Chain A
Amino acid sequence: DAGVIQSPRHEVTEMGQEVTLRCKPISGHDYLFWYRQTMMRGLELLIYFNNNVPIDDSGMPEDRFSAKMPNASFSTLKIQPSEPRDSAVYFCASSMGGKGQPQHFGDGTRLSIL
């Protein structure tokens, strides 16, 4: 079975550019999560969706970050304009309903903002 698929795997861009990260959750999963991982702050939840609806975006660092889930099989995390401090590994995860169900992570997008 295909797991969570993220693209691109690596992104290098210059400060001020728009960055779009993409995620395809596991088919049938109704929860989708976006995380950011850095050495300084560890793994942080940015936002999560249930049935394509954003439920909690309290982890989104600032207005430069936005996330959408137009359908059950696709989500994007956009940063505009990007800054060097946004450099991190961004993970998407999905789970199938019910509290305490395992979250399945993709392999992440390593983002470098120069």
Chain B
Amino acid sequence: QQQVKQSPQSLIVQKGGISIINCAYENTAFDYFPWYQQFPGKGPALLIAIRPDVSEKKEGRFTISFNKSAKQFSLHIMDSQPGDSATYFCAASSMDSSYKLIFGSGTRLLVRP
């Protein structure tokens, strides 16, 4: 019940296309859903985060869509660029587990020029 399932494992998109990464969870106590971006040799960096009181959050080319009833959330990268090539992790945490982030397994995104 603590798991966050992420798909796909890898994704190849042409420059200018839309990248979509999906995550699903079981624990209804989860109330914070961040996405992290990781480049090779670097630590993960927070990209964007959402709470379940909104269904969508947009920051530049990055959008999180959240479906509370389906217990799913997704990251959309519009106008994907080669510089977006990285591994993306979704995560979740719940009020009762405080700061303990549960990470998805990661999606390796390659944006072809």
The chain A residues found within 8 Å of chain B, CB to CB, are: 4, 31, 33, 42-45, 48, 55-56, 91, 93, 95, 99-100, 102-108
Contact = CB atoms under 8 A, between A and B. Distances in A.
Interface centre among B49, B95, B99 (most CB of A within 10 A): B99
14 contacts: A31-B99, A42-B103, A42-B106, A43-B103, A44-B103, A56-B98, A99-B32, A100-B49, A100-B93, A102-B34, A102-B49, A105-B44, A107-B42, A108-B43
A75 to B, nearest CB: 15
Q: What bracket does the count of chain B residues touching chain A fall in?
A: 20 to 34
Contact of B43 (A48, A93, A100, A102): A93
Given A56-B100, A95-B99, A107-B41, A102 B106 contact: no
Mostly, the B contact residues are loop
A48 B99 contact: yes
A60 to B, nearest CB: 13
